[in-house]
Structure 1
């Protein structure tokens, strides 16, 4: 705190009340980061724009964001500029001041991922233009409360309705889009840029106008941390009943609410379900336990084979037979995406091996990198244009 206090006063003295510009995207797409901290002994930056480093965990080896040192001038201004231009993408980063990880004090744009808050910046161009707010018609993002009798809670979900929904009488197809472990009903709109991706793809004529429902996949929660009757609880991944069958059991409550509240097409051909990591796990088991409900299924880095013991084991029993039953109903799309260095790569390869052994038709996308939002944004932007054709 002392370091940050000195930082704020020093910035005012040096720049006349103006903080140093950080980050600054240069004309060659190199990026410069600045921090005024005269009393700091060491300042570093960590983010997904830097070369990754290998980290070993109980889940296996995975790629973590790299770390780079900032250099200090005689006025106490620390600076780092990337060696080369950065490719178009939405990037996340933090400063590390004498071992304490903080957001960039000069960058007001930050987002929360579980219990971590990170600064963000965007390099436009190519696919990253889908993540920008462009001059196109915009949909509406609402945070809606619904009753879940199965969970015994009033719960919240985030709902995207496409541009023109409020003034039309049209009925729309629905994509149910699920987050990963530790996430919540805000993850896909904040970290995943789902609203921007949908707005832009629909405006370009590459995707059908659709409603996207993003429920909270933690069945023990009313809503995201800090916005429930429990007050300002600390966000954590260690929540009860995350992958033990109870969310899958309660999922029909979400569908019932949506179909009673919104103008939607209420048949299999106009329902899709997809999710990342834990949400991919949920999407798999919700779809195979309800083979007449969804014609489109998307598994993004799905955490298959990660179910918890002691829950509703019948949800997870006879998985291969249930997969057979799903494909016997001829779904229009079964889609799998995974990063080459994802710690769940082997699990997904084993699922694909089973599908191949049965000659079941599916689409597969393999990308660089691991278990990261960069990949999940790619998967969403690839999956959505294939829906409801």
Structure 2
């Protein structure tokens, strides 16, 4: 009898919690995007002494780090109103995707009334999109959609099966055509999920293709961390704290074995296996990988994109001299030819000086490139812009 009573109590408790989840949720998603494109944040915290909101919609400040001066998102104080509801309204915001979180009495807090979040390294943040202009590319529109798949491939060079994300364009499954490929590489702290979640790659490709601004293409987003087979929680190591720099980061092994990715794609998908139909691009660490992969395998990629790229090589542990003779291999890459070598960076990026020095190196050897410089620093806002501008340049034969 006691067991039945206990079961009844647990059942009632579970049902009460379920009802609270189902019926206790707020009626309106926050933050509220106003008609004038200001945004109002609210948080009910009646016992809090201080509530703040932080995000890229506020002016950045500079903070010191081992890598140099980094941009830190601004912080705004919220005002306490009736029923313990704190609020803050921004100035008019440009169309974009914005991450944010609250700080309650010094403690980082997610927005309990916003169901949508993103993982950036180990931090989960909420986000919202101010529509119009550029951000319309980042939203799901009523257009034909491509297919996103997670695939495992064998990397003999790294000695493990590894995971990648791959986008195939609308109509791929019903077509017999062969397609070009963009290999898109993430930065430090990222993985095969970063360009999907933070970069909005699928939405950008769907919308650009639908507008006729980009050729239908595959986009391959591999994991660039040598010691991972997949993103934390998605691979054989199970659940663990993501870190900014993993073991064997940027030591040449990834670049030396990158053709394992290319071979998998060209063996399993209908693609054009030639230089004119291959592009490679990446942000930060992914830009570093892109620069070294493209010069270590000259004549392989016709389109190269360096987005806020880390440049200076580290200790080479590849065993094949991936970082040897930088000028000589760049000259070989130039001699074998390519159609576009694209570099982009924000004017306040902590990697600005090293990119400036790398451009001087390219100028000295006469290597052609296109250069884009805009505002802001080392942030996803810029990398979504660079991807949106780079993709329409590809495969325009």
Q: TM-score range by the shorter chain?
A: over 0.9
Is 2:107 the counterpart of 1:90?
no
CA deviation string 1:212-259 (max 9, x = no partner): 000000011010001111111111123111200110122111011000
- Give the alignment's Cα RMSD to 1 decimal: 1.6
1:21: how far off? 4.5
CA distance, structure 2, for counterparts of residue 280 and residue 157 of structure 1:
18
Instruction: Say whether the 8 Å CA contact 1:20–1:35 is kept in structure 2.
Output: no
**Which residue in 1 is equivalent to 2:377?**
370
> How many corresponding residue pairs?
376
CA distance, structure 1, for counterparts of residue 192 and residue 37 of structure 2:
33
Written as runs of structure 1 = structure 2, the 5 A alignment for 1:349-364 is: 349-364=356-371
1:329: how far off? 1.2
1:100: how far off? 1.0
Give the counterpart of 2:265 among 258, 261, 266.
258
1:358: how far off? 2.6
**Which residue in 1 is equivalent to 2:9?**
none
Shifted more, 50-59 versus 342-351: the winner is 50-59
Give the counterpart of 1:316 among 323, 330, 350.
323
Written as runs of structure 1 = structure 2, the 5 A alignment for 1:1-389 is: 18=26, 21-82=29-90, 84-308=91-315, 312=319, 314-389=321-396
Instruction: Say whether the 8 Å CA contact 1:147–1:155 is kept in structure 2.
Output: yes
Find the residue that maps to 2:124 and give its secondary structure.
strand
Gap regions ≥5 residues in structure 2: 1-16
Find the residue that maps to 1:57 and give its secondary structure.
coil
Instruction: Say whether the 8 Å CA contact 1:244–1:312 is kept in structure 2.
Output: no
TM-score w.r.t. the length of structure 1 is: 0.94
Instruction: Say whether the 8 Å CA contact 1:241–1:247 is kept in structure 2.
Output: no
Relative to 1, partners in 2 of residues 1:19 and 1:136: Cα closer, same or farther, differing over 3 Å? closer
Find the residue that maps to 2:54 and give its secondary structure.
strand
1:16: how far off? 7.0
Larger Rg: 2
Relative to 1, partners in 2 of residues 1:135 and 1:229: Cα closer, same or farther, differing over 3 Å? same
Relative to 1, partners in 2 of residues 1:260 and 1:35: Cα closer, same or farther, differing over 3 Å? same
Find the residue that maps to 1:127 and give its secondary structure.
helix
CA distance, structure 2, for counterparts of residue 307 and residue 42 of structure 1:
44
TM-score w.r.t. the length of structure 2 is: 0.92
Instruction: Say whether the 8 Å CA contact 2:150–2:166 is kept in structure 1.
Output: yes
Relative to 1, partners in 2 of residues 1:310 and 1:155: Cα closer, same or farther, differing over 3 Å? closer
CA distance, structure 1, for counterparts of residue 65 and residue 26 of structure 2:
42
CA distance, structure 2, for counterparts of residue 238 and residue 358 of structure 1:
32
Find the residue that maps to 1:273 and give its secondary structure.
strand
- 4+ runs of 1 displaced by more than 3 Å? 308-313
